[in-house]
Amino acid sequence: MMINTLVNALLNPSPHSFSGAILIFTLLFVLQKHRTKKDEISKQNQLPPGPTAWPLVGCLPAMLQQKPVFRWIHLLMKDMNTDILCVRIGKVHVVSITCPKLAQEVLRKKDAIFASRPTSVATNLLRGGTALSPFGDQWKKMRRILTSEVVCPAMHHSLYDKRADEANHLVQYVYNLCQSSKDIDMRVVTRHYCGNVTRRLMFNKRYFSQVMPDGGPGADEMEHINAIFDLLGYIFAFCISDYFPSLIGLDLDGHEKILKDARNTFDKLHDPIIKERIKLWRQASNDSERETQDWLDVLVSLKDVDGQFLLTADEIKSQSIELFLASIDNPSHAVECILAEMMNNPNVLQEAINEIDSVVGKERLVDECDIPRLNYLKACVRESARLHPVVPFIPPHQAMEDTTIAGYFIPKGSHVLISRLGLGRNPKTWEEPLKFKPERHLTDKCSEVLLTDPELRFIVFGSGRRGCLGVTLGTTMTVMLLARLLQGFTWSKPSGVSSISLIESHEGTALAKPLVLHAQPRFSNLFIN
């Protein structure tokens, strides 16, 4: 009726009908504005798309039936054709993101809101460090220490000799393996090198106890590496008690035992070294009596403005574990996957070798000073991070207040997971996303290839306040490991193997089977006898 009155007023204008039309226009405008505002409020309170949740338990039944959970989440996102998904587990909203623009909204635009970490069984075992701590004074304190004292440029430079020594040791160790065995387990080699480097930087020692004659890992070193990867695999692995704290201790999914066993291994191997170092620094009459030779010296010797030692023994223990967790997984995983891809792509392997021979030559070993010019090798590392990320998600960010992502409502306390798998394999971002093509990272716009990506199309080191502080060290370890292996040896598939399987393990993103390759030394003059 209002529409008819309005039309008549326009066709047959009169003072009375015109005033009625104005009133109707006003009413329509007010109604439309109210409807628009109501729609905006409704959208702001709308959670991202996701499966229907049960009362109280949320999607827990589906989570328990669809393990591993990260594959279930990615399958849901694919089936629902969405770049943002919300799954409620108990009272916690878990939000997964696979789009670079949404990742930038979380890690850049709203970084301050998402600067915290959720607490979990694992974080309770490692309380006091940096990477896993919730946002607060403790996190700020430890981050300040790491940034200014531990992974700062001056400390990185001062520890060069230790890294160089381990790079030399790597070549000699693989050379020894060539003499005793035709086929070499590259997972052991890559992890052992990363473990050696980090132990030297942290404790100034390669072995915890017995030195192995072939230069390989002993029982303690293998146990140490296994504990590191157990912790990495279960830190944020959708443990039931992380979402239902009242169930802590029942260990319904077995995660708690694995985490505690790993922590016990660290306590057994780290504690004697840390206790002895604390004793030495406490007994020194003044700081000039001792010289800082590694990260542990730095952590133990720091003092506050009143001259009191800054860190407790528990803080030092937790931070030492976190430094191992942060240093070993990415380089070792990346190089194993790159070598696997190169075996199936001989042109990529030859291009990498040609670059090393051109930049470095054949009369000396690759050095850290060569890294800026090894752009093709770094493109291989970027491509591995894109296609074969070390873990499915970066560590979760926790919303410290109600907010929105892409217009969807994100309640305070939500866990936001940026998917490394989803970003790197997103067909909207990458052409032929499942193909290993290092050249896609080489452009004329930049003279040096970096392992970080400002557009967050893939993630190596994280970003924002909670991003990795050791970008320089991570880049150095990864490129040196790859370069020394390619420069020093000719690699080939084992006899009878036509192609290397790139199938991932069921539980994570590591290769289902460790990479085993055949090696022959390239230049005998480069080996230490």
Q: What is the pLDDT of residue 285?
A: 65
Token look-up 């591993």 returns: 68
pLDDT in tens, 340-396: 999 999 999 999 999 999 999 999 999 999 999 999 999 999 999 999 999 999 999
pLDDT in tens, 231-244: 998 888 899 999 99
Q: What is the pLDDT of residue 94?
A: 97
Percentage helix, strand, coil for the chain under 3-state DSSP, each rounded to 5: 55, 10, 35
- Residue of higher predicted confidence among 121 and 42: 121
Question: Residue 288 — very low, low, confident or very high, per pLDDT cuts 50/70/90?
Answer: low
CA 235, CA 230: separation in Å to the nearest integer? 8
Q: What is the pTM of this model?
A: 0.89
Question: Residue 289 — very low, low, confident or very high, per pLDDT cuts 50/70/90?
Answer: low
Q: Are 378 and 483 in contact (CB under 8 A)?
A: no
Instruction: For residues 175-180, give the mean pLDDT.
Output: 91
Report in angstroms the alpha-carbon separations of 347 from 118, 251, 439: 45, 49, 12
pLDDT in tens, 417-428: 999 999 999 999
Q: What is the pLDDT of residue 207?
A: 97
DSSP reduced 3-state for 134:
coil
Q: What is the pLDDT of residue 121?
A: 87
Q: Picking from 41-45, 286-290, 446-450, 483-487, which range would have the lowest pLDDT averaged per residue?
A: 41-45
Q: What is the pLDDT of residue 12?
A: 58
Q: What is the pLDDT of residue 477?
A: 98
Question: Residue 526 — very low, low, confident or very high, per pLDDT cuts 50/70/90?
Answer: low
Question: Residue 284 — very low, low, confident or very high, per pLDDT cuts 50/70/90?
Answer: confident
pLDDT in tens, 21-76: 455 545 445 445 545 444 444 455 799 999 999 999 999 999 999 999 999 999 99
Instruction: For residues 174-186, give the mean pLDDT.
Output: 90
Instruction: For residues 87-102, give the mean pLDDT.
Output: 97
Q: What is the pLDDT of residue 6?
A: 40
Considering the chain, what is the average pLDDT of its residues?
Answer: 90
Token look-up 């029982």 returns: 219
Q: Are 195 and 225 in contact (CB under 8 A)?
A: yes
DSSP secondary structure, 33-94, as one string: HHHHHHHHHHHHTPPPP-PPPBTTTBTHHHHHHS-SHHHHHHHHHHHHT-SEEEEEETTEEE
CA 375, CA 255: separation in Å to the nearest integer? 41
DSSP secondary structure, 337-364, as one string: HHHHHHHH-HHHHHHHHHHHHHHT-SSS
Q: Are 416 and 396 in contact (CB under 8 A)?
A: yes
pLDDT in tens, 309-319: 999 999 999 99
- Residue of higher predicted confidence among 527 and 463: 463
Q: What is the pLDDT of residue 93?
A: 98
Sheet of 516-521, strands arranged across: 183-185, 516-521, 489-492
Q: What is the pLDDT of residue 133?
A: 87
- Residue of higher predicted confidence among 477 and 470: 477
Q: CA quadruple 38, 40, 45, 49: dihedral positive or negative?
A: positive
CA 173, CA 352: separation in Å to the nearest integer? 22
- Among 370, 381, 2, 9, which Cα is nearest to 190's? 381
Q: Are 353 and 339 in contact (CB under 8 A)?
A: no
Q: What is the pLDDT of residue 521?
A: 93
Q: What is the pLDDT of residue 196?
A: 98
Q: Picking from 24-33, 128-137, 295-304, 330-339, which range would have the lowest pLDDT averaged per residue?
A: 24-33
58: phi then psi, degrees, rounded to nearest 5 = 65, -130
pLDDT in tens, 243-279: 999 999 999 999 999 999 999 999 999 999 999 999 9
Q: What is the pLDDT of residue 33?
A: 52
